[in-house]
Amino acid sequence: MILRDVAPERTVRCSEAISDLGECQIGMSLKVLVVTAMYPRPGNEDSGAFVMHQVEQLRALGHTVDVLDFRGDRSKLEYLKAAVEVFRRTRHKRYSVVHAHYGLTGLPALFRSSTPLVISLHGSDALVGWHEPLLSRIACKFADATIVASSKIARRIPGDVIPCGVDLAVFEPKPKAEARQRLKLEPGVSSAST
């Protein structure tokens, strides 16, 4: 469990979050309900792809993961419907944790029944405008733990900084000269992207 009274600037490393890799072995699996309004769907396959990847990775580790994906972009009423569904699911199935992705999605997740709640903040939910950050802050006050994707977010809404991961099967370090050649950058010439 992530402690809430940690300094806002604290960054949690993978090795610290899982101090003993045995904690992730099959047989000690978690039952997770992921609540999100960002998930790939036809016509918007990139929406919340990182949420889907996290779900896939948790399943690959042997955890049971159910996803409640609702269309919050359609209507505010969808948030109310999601709250009812969160309550229904957590009342009828014993989850280890409810994990809400995005601050506003944390609001319906608050209606879980006797299940710990973790809310992950990803950016605009804490940094853009005033009403989303306010609602995100309120939701996080009632959550059991808050994860933030950057220290900039943590300065606004306290939480443990756990950056979104990178799939090392797809992205791997390359020697600088090889990377510059692949990107067709001239050797020795400074570039804004290097």
Better-scored residue on pLDDT, 170 or 8: 170
**Are the CB atoms for 121 and 136 separated by under 8 Å?**
yes
Mean pLDDT of 80-106: 95
Better-scored residue on pLDDT, 135 or 189: 135
Q: For residue 27, what pLDDT is reported? A: 54
| Nearest C-alpha neighbor of 121 from the set 141, 97, 95, 92 | 141
Q: For residue 8, what pLDDT is reported? A: 38
Instruction: Please state which of the ranges 37-46, 103-112, 132-141, 142-151 shows the lowest mean pLDDT.
Output: 37-46
Please say if the pLDDT value at position 190 is more than 90: no
Q: For residue 46, what pLDDT is reported? A: 77
Mean pLDDT of 104-131: 94
Mean pLDDT of 28-46: 87
With a CB cutoff of 8 Å and minimum separation 6, the contacts of 18 are 24
In the chain, what are the domains?
14-182 (3.40.50.2000)
* Residue 157 pLDDT class (50, 70, 90 cuts): very high
Mean pLDDT of 11-17: 38
**Are the CB atoms for 93 and 70 separated by under 8 Å?**
no
* Residue 182 pLDDT class (50, 70, 90 cuts): confident
Q: Which CA distances in Å does 80 have to 13, 38, 106, 108, 143?
A: 35, 16, 12, 7, 18
Q: What global pTM score does this model have?
A: 0.73
Mean pLDDT of 31-44: 90
Mean pLDDT of 126-151: 94
Structure tokens at 111: 């209606």
Q: What is the mean pLDDT of the chain?
A: 82
